[in-house]
C-alpha cells in the first residue's frame, strides 16, 4: 500500500520537515530562557507523530530527531568570535535617556569611538555621558526631524573621522505619543510618531549611508514588535514602526552588495523615556479629554478612557528596568561577523513572534490581547446597547411567561 503512495508521502514529508525545521530554527534563535528546548521538543513530537502516522521507517525518525538535537546543540554551543572595536566609530541617536544613553556608555566602555546625539546638550542625560564616558565620546545636539541639524551632525562627524568611514549607525531615537483606541487618537499623534520614528530615522540613515558604505559597516535600528503585530491602543506608534520595519527590511537587501549589514532589534517592555513618567501621561490624558468631540466622548465614556490610562500606567510599572538585553543585542549586531537580520531582546518576544508566525490568527490575536491590554470595560454606548438588549430580552421573557400563564388558565377552564 505504501508503494502506491510513495511519491506523495515523500513530498508531504519534505513539506512537514521544512515547516517544523524552520519553526525550530526560529524559536531556537529567539533568545528565550526555558522555552527553546520545550518548543523544540514539541515541534519534534508533532513531526514524529505525523511520520508515525505515515508508517515510515524508525531509522528515519531517529535521523530526524538526531538532526533536531544537532540544531539545538549548535544554538547552545560556544559563541562565535566577535570583531574588534579598535578604530571603529559609532553614531547613536536619542542618547538623552533610555536605550540610547545606556548603549552610548556601554559601547564607549568597550572601546568604540562614540558619537552620541542628544536633544539637549545641557540636559541630565548629556551631562551624565560627559561625566561617565571617556574622551572618545562626542556629543552632538540633533533633532532628527530637523534636516539642517542632521546635516550639521554629518559635517561634524566627517570632520572628526577624517578619511575614515563610520562603522555603525544605531537608530534609537523614537517617541510614543499616544495611548488609546485609534478613533480617540489625535491626528497630531499619528503625524508626530511618523515624523520621528519613520521620517526622522529615514533622514539620518540616508545622510550617513555614504560613510557606512565606505567602511562596509552596520545599520542597527531599535524598533518594536508593535510594528509587526496589532497591539491594542498603539495604532499611531505601531503604524510608524511598521513603516520603519519595512524600510529597514528593504534597505537590508539593497545594501548587501555594498557589504553593509542591516539589523533590527525588537525589545520587550522596558522602563525608558517617558513611559514611567506618570505626570506626563496624566497631562496627555487631560489634553485628550479636552480635544475630543463631545459626541465621541459620550460614546466611549470617560471611565473607559480612564481605565485605558490606568492599564498603561500598570504596564509601565511592570516594565523591566534592566536594559542590558537591548544593549547586548546592539553589541552583537555591531560586532558579529554574521549579524542577524532581527534580534529579539527580552523575555517573551521570541515566543510572541513564534505564535504570531505559526499559530492561527484567532490564537495569536487572543494571546496578544491577554498579554497587553486586559480591558474590562466596554465603551459606554456598547454598555447602554447591551443593557437595552438585556431589558428587551427580560421584557420579552415576561410577556412570554404571561402568555403561557393565560394559556394554562384557559386549558384548565376547558
Active-site annotation, residues: 237
Neighbouring C-beta atoms of residue 355, cutoff 10 Å: 18
In eight-state DSSP terms, residue 375 is -
Instruction: List the grid coordinates of 290.
Output: 479636552
User: How many residues are recorded in the chain?
Assistant: 414
Helices (H), 3-34: 6-28
| Alpha-carbon separation of residue 181 from 122, 210, 253, 306, 307 (angstroms) | 36, 41, 35, 12, 12
Q: How far is residue 218's CA from residue 248's CA, in Å, rounded to a whole number?
A: 12
Cell numbers 511592570 correspond to: 318
Cell of residue 250, nine digits:
528593504
**CA 333 to CA 292: how far, in whole Å?**
43
Residue 320 DSSP code: B
Q: Residue 364 in contact with residue 356, Cβ under 8 Å?
A: yes
Q: For the sheet with 261-267, list strands across it.
A: 138-141, 113-118, 89-92, 168-171, 218-222, 261-267, 342-345
Could you identify the residue written with the cell 511618523? Answer: 194
Looking up cell 491577554 gives 370
Amino acid at each position: 500500500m505504501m508503494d502506491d503512495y510513495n511519491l506523495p508521502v515523500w513530498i508531504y514529508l519534505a513539506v512537514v520537515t521544512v515547516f517544523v525545521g524552520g519553526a525550530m530554527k526560529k524559536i531556537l534563535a529567539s533568545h528565550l530562557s526555558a522555552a527553546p528546548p520545550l518548543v523544540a521538543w514539541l515541534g519534534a513530537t508533532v513531526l514524529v507523530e505525523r511520520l508515525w502516522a505515515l508508517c515510515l521507517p524508525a531509522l528515519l525518525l531517529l535521523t530526524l530527531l538526531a538532526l533536531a538535537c544537532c540544531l539545538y546543540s549548535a544554538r547552545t554551543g560556544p559563541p562565535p568570535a566577535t570583531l574588534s572595536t579598535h578604530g571603529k566609530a559609532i553614531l547613536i541617536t536619542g542618547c538623552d535617556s533610555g536605550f540610547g544613553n545606556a548603549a552610548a556608555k556601554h559601547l564607549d566602555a568597550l572601546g568604540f569611538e562614540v558619537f552620541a546625539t542628544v536633544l539637549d546638550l545641557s540636559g541630565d542625560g548629556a551631562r551624565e555621558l560627559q561625566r561617565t564616558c571617556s574622551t572618545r565620546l562626542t556629543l552632538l545636539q540633533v533633532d532628527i526631524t530637523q534636516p539642517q541639524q542632521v546635516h550639521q551632525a554629518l559635517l561634524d562627524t566627517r570632520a572628526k573621522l577624517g578619511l575614515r568611514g563610520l562603522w555603525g549607525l544605531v537608530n534609537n531615537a523614537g517617541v510614543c505619543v499616544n495611548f488609546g483606541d485609534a478613533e480617540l487618537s489625535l491626528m497630531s499623534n499619528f503625524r508626530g510618531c511618523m515624523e520621528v520614528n519613520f521620517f526622522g530615522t529615514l533622514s539620518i540613515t540616508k545622510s550617513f549611508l555614504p560613510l557606512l558604505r565606505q567602511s562596509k559597516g552596520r545599520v542597527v535600528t531599535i524598533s518594536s514588535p508593535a510594528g509587526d503585530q496589532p497591539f491594542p491602543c498603539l495604532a499611531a506608534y505601531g503604524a510608524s514602526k511598521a513603516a520603519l520595519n519595512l524600510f529597514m527590511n528593504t534597505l537590508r537587501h539593497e545594501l548587501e552588495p555594498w557589504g553593509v549589514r542591516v539589523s533590527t532589534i525588537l525589545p520587550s517592555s522596558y522602563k525608558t523615556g517617558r513611559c514611567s513618567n506618570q505626570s506626563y501621561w496624566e497631562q496627555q490624558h487631560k489634553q485628550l479629554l479636552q480635544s475630543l468631540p463631545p459626541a465621541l466622548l459620550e460614546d466611549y465614556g470617560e471611565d473607559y478612557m480612564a481605565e485605558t490610562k490606568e492599564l498603561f500606567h500598570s504596564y509601565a510599572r511592570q516594565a523591566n528596568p534592566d536594559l542590558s538585553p537591548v544593549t547586548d543585542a546592539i553589541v552583537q549586531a555591531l560586532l558579529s561577523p554574521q549579524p542577524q537580520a532581527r534580534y529579539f531582546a527580552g523575555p517573551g518576544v521570541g515566543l510572541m513572534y513564534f505564535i504570531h508566525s505559526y499559530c492561527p490568527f484567532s490564537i495569536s490575536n487572543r494571546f496578544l490581547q491577554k498579554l497587553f491590554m486586559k480591558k474590562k470595560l466596554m465603551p459606554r454606548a456598547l454598555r447602554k446597547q447591551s443593557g437595552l438588549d438585556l431589558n428587551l430580552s427580560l421584557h420579552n421573557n415576561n410577556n412570554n411567561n404571561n402568555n403561557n400563564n393565560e394559556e394554562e388558565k384557559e386549558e384548565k377552564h376547558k
